[in-house]
Amino acid sequence: MRVVIQRVSKASVAVEGKIIGSCGLGLLILVGIEEADTQEDITWLSQKIINLRIFNDPEGKMNFSVKDVNGEILVISQFTLHASTKKGNRPSYILAAGPDKALPMYHDFVKALQLETNKPIATGEFGARMEVSLVNDGPVTIIIDSKQKN
């Protein structure tokens, strides 16, 4: 699994002009699922994200996690995170999981985050054309790939 995590002061996602998910201070997480991903990737990644210390403490140092600041989370599925641009100019998405695998894993990832935070997690709509708006706070943007955890 590959994620792009953005520390936000607010974010939202709309489908056909209607906002379907939003968050205030917290994290916008774009997640790409590949065929090789397993439940182990979900567990490792959700714990890593929840404990990632990227929020400022009173001294302005990044010492607090999203849990520490009681932050909110918006998760959006984005298969294009697995684009390969090695050959030619048209990206290949051969590593991205198809919907039969990706949709259940996406739901499991959201559930794992919900269990870790004990809070509802806002989401986009899997497979839909979405418009994402955000105010990146910092800016702080972190990329994590569960296949590169060592």
pLDDT digits (tens, 9 = 90+) for 38-92: 999 999 999 999 999 999 999 999 999 999 999 999 999 999 898 888 888 988 8
Q: Rounded CA gap, 6 and 120, in Å?
A: 18
Looking at the DSSP assignment, which residues form a beta bridge with residue 131?
14
Give the pLDDT band of residue 148 (cuts 50, 70, 90). Answer: confident
Give the CB-side neighbour count of residue 122, counting CA atoms within 13 A: 21
Residue type, 33: I
pLDDT for 150 equals: 67
Residue 18 β-bridge partners: 15
**1, 33 in Cβ contact below 8 A?**
yes
- DSSP-derived pairing of the beta strands 2-15 and 26-32: antiparallel
Q: Which of 38, 43, 80, 117 is catalytic?
A: 80
* Model pLDDT, residue 56: 96
Active-site residue, 141 included: no
